[in-house]
Amino acid sequence: MKKKHYYILISMFLILFIAGCADDESEQKEEEFQESAEKDANIVFAEEFVMFLNEGRYEDATEYYDETMKDELPASELEEAWTSLEEQFGSFVSQEYQSTEKLEGYDVVLINGSFEEQDVVFQITLDQNEKIAGFYVK
């Protein structure tokens, strides 16, 4: 009889152990899914931002800004910067997603930009609220 209890106890332990592993795996998959969805959303935001610049929709582009960026690079200065790029490199031709990096709590999206005479890399930094916290052209 003691052997039977022993086997039941071991069986219950194994069931609980397997269930616990399944929960950990499920949580890990959910985290990976959320990270992937966040990354995809950030890519879309970055590409739309560049699209707005190309279309001359500078006010729309600044809607993606966090509060600091609204003060640092208002629509009028953003327009000047874009116009300067087009004067230096010709008309904007296309953009293509390059990569996303995590850096000190921010997501940094790199977009390859092609102008008629030169290619550049747009570096668009997004905060945890999916707002643009930085914009650089390399």
Task: Identify the structural domains of the chain with CATH numbers, from first to last.
Answer: 2-137 (3.10.450.590)
Give the mean pLDDT of the chain. Answer: 86
Predicted TM-score (pTM) of the model is 0.76
Task: Please report, rounded to a whole number, the percentage of residues in the chain having pLDDT higher than 90.
Answer: 67
Tell me, what's the pLDDT at 110? Answer: 98
- Please say whether the beta carbons of 123 and 110 come within 8 A: yes
Strand partners, 123: 110, 136
State the DSSP H helix or E strand holding residue 114, giving kind and residue range, or none if neither. strand 106-115
Tell me, what's the pLDDT at 39? Answer: 74
Minimum mean pLDDT among 38-47, 79-88, 124-133: which range? 38-47
Tell me, what's the pLDDT at 21? Answer: 59
Tell me, what's the pLDDT at 13? Answer: 60
Alpha carbon distance 20, 52 (integer Å):
48
- Between the CA atoms of 90, 93, 99 and 102, what dihedral angle is there, to the nearest 10 degrees? 60
Tell me, what's the pLDDT at 38? Answer: 75
Residue 128, φ and ψ in degrees, nearest 5: -70, -15
* Pair type for strands 132-137 and 119-126: antiparallel
Asked whether residue 101 carries a pLDDT value surpassing 60, the answer given is yes
Q: Which of 97, 96, 62, 93 is nearest to 79 (CA)?
A: 62
- Please say whether the beta carbons of 58 and 39 come within 8 A: no
Task: Please report, rounded to a whole number, the percentage of residues in the chain having pLDDT higher than 70.
Answer: 74
How far is C-alpha 138 from the geometric centre of its chain's CA atoms?
Answer: 19
Alpha carbon distance 55, 64 (integer Å):
15
Could you tell me which residue, 96 or 1, shows the higher pLDDT? Answer: 96
Alpha carbon distance 30, 112 (integer Å):
30
